[in-house]
Amino acid sequence: MIYIEEFTILTPEQAENWLNNNCDAHCTKQYYPFRVFESRVPKLELGNITILYGGNGSGKTTLLNLMAEKLGLPRSTPYNRTPFFSDYVEMCRLRMAGEDTGYPEKIPYESRFIGSDDVFEHILRLREQNDARHLASERAGRQWGVEGYRRMKLDSYEQGGYDAFLTHMKARHSTRSRFVREHAQAAEREYSNGESAFIYFTQAIAERGLYLLDEPENSLSPNLQLDLVEFLSSSAVCGAQLVIATHSPLLLSIPGARIYDLDHRPIGLRPWYELENVRLLFDFFNEHRALFLE
């Protein structure tokens, strides 16, 4: 399913003209995202899966941020922006699918931006929740030990009242494990960072919606990256539209993806096997080919 057909940002000349007309000498260091793109970025024609490829500083994350802001997509963590970010976004242009017919597609509510910071924030939040649950379990265990062996009468309201009396009776007639289960929430199972990241993506991406993914390969082993390739391909078939910023050779090989090479001049569409990162690995393994054939 395609919700957005095109996304257009400013040319370097348009960005420079705007700065010259709206920015004085005191704001020269606060102009992001102006001057990020020294070369003209063509109109991005988006497919079911579109990949923004490039090295560090190429602007692929900036393009995702601009698109997410233009669409008002939800996200979990803050991102780099300046007082001029909204001005730049205002001048970007979107073309929705069906716009020519007068019935443009609506972005489903499931749509969102997902970056590596979102994944790490989720992992840290889960750890904090589990720490709190472990402490609650320890307190409940100590309470069972105290309540189960002390004497208490129903009319002992000075000791906490009727609720305290019920807790006391439960402790006396329950095993420690049962009492803890009833008085403290069990901790969720924790996985490695890579496993947690993969699970996060599979739970966050539904069978419909627009998803902007910023370097989803972070923390993932090659095996999990291949699993993610399969999952993302299936999601696109089922109705999701994906725009992905990555430099992972494995994610770049997603069948049918439209890949914009932000490192190439001029910037444009290129097949995955011609990209620099992919060729670098190809040359590396070719150089050590004999080791693999022993």
Residue 154 confidence (pLDDT): 46
Structure-derived torsion over alpha carbons of residues 132, 136, 138, 143, reported in degrees to the nearest 10: 160
Per-residue pLDDT averaged across 6-23, rounded? 92
Helices vs strands, H then E, count in the chain: 11, 9
151 and 261, same domain (yes or no): no
Residue 271 lies in a domain: yes
Residue 152 confidence (pLDDT): 45
Residue 248 confidence (pLDDT): 94
64 and 142, same domain (yes or no): no
98 and 167, same domain (yes or no): no
As for how many domains the chain has, the answer is 2
Q: Please give the residue range of the domain that contains residue 137.
A: 124-183
Per-residue pLDDT averaged across 37-57, rounded? 95
Report how far residue 183's alpha carbon sits from residue 190's, in angstroms, rounded to the nearest whole number. Answer: 21
Q: Is the pLDDT of residue 107 over 80?
A: yes
Residue 189 confidence (pLDDT): 53
104 and 128, same domain (yes or no): no
Residue 24 lies in a domain: no
157 and 101, same domain (yes or no): no
Residue 42 confidence (pLDDT): 94
Residue 172 confidence (pLDDT): 53
Kindly report, residue by residue over 194-206, the tens digit of the pLDDT.
Answer: 888 888 899 899 9
Residue 145 lies in a domain: yes
**How does residue 81 score in pLDDT terms, banded at 50, 70 and 90?**
confident
49 and 104, same domain (yes or no): yes
Q: Is the pLDDT of residue 157 over 50?
A: no
Residue 262 confidence (pLDDT): 96
247 and 278, same domain (yes or no): yes
Kindly report, residue by residue over 113-146, the tens digit of the pLDDT.
Answer: 998 788 777 666 666 765 656 565 666 555 555 5
**How does residue 83 score in pLDDT terms, banded at 50, 70 and 90?**
confident
Contacts of 203 (CB under 8 A, 6+ apart): none
Residue 212 lies in a domain: yes
Which of 286, 271, 214 has the alpha carbon at shortest distance from 247? 214
226 and 276, same domain (yes or no): yes
| Percent of the chain predicted with pLDDT > 70 | 74
User: Mean of the per-residue pLDDT values for the chain?
Assistant: 83
Structure tokens given for 183: 């008085």
224 and 98, same domain (yes or no): yes
222 and 283, same domain (yes or no): yes
| Least trusted range by pLDDT, from 43-57, 138-152, 173-187, 276-290 | 138-152
Q: Is the pLDDT of residue 150 over 60?
A: no
| Percent of the chain predicted with pLDDT > 90 | 54
Whole-Å CA distances, 108 to 240, 271, 279: 10, 30, 38
What angle (nearest 5°) sits at the alpha carbon of residue 245, between those of residues 226 and 190? 55
211 and 281, same domain (yes or no): yes
Kindly report, residue by residue over 62-79, the tens digit of the pLDDT.
Answer: 999 999 999 999 998 888
E strand segments, 127-269: 209-214, 240-246, 258-261, 268-269
140 and 101, same domain (yes or no): no
| Least trusted range by pLDDT, from 16-30, 157-171, 231-245 | 157-171
Which domain CATH number covers 55? 3.40.50
Residue 14 lies in a domain: no
| Least trusted range by pLDDT, from 17-31, 85-99, 164-178, 249-263 | 164-178
Report how far residue 224's alpha carbon sits from residue 240's, in angstroms, rounded to the nearest whole number. Answer: 20
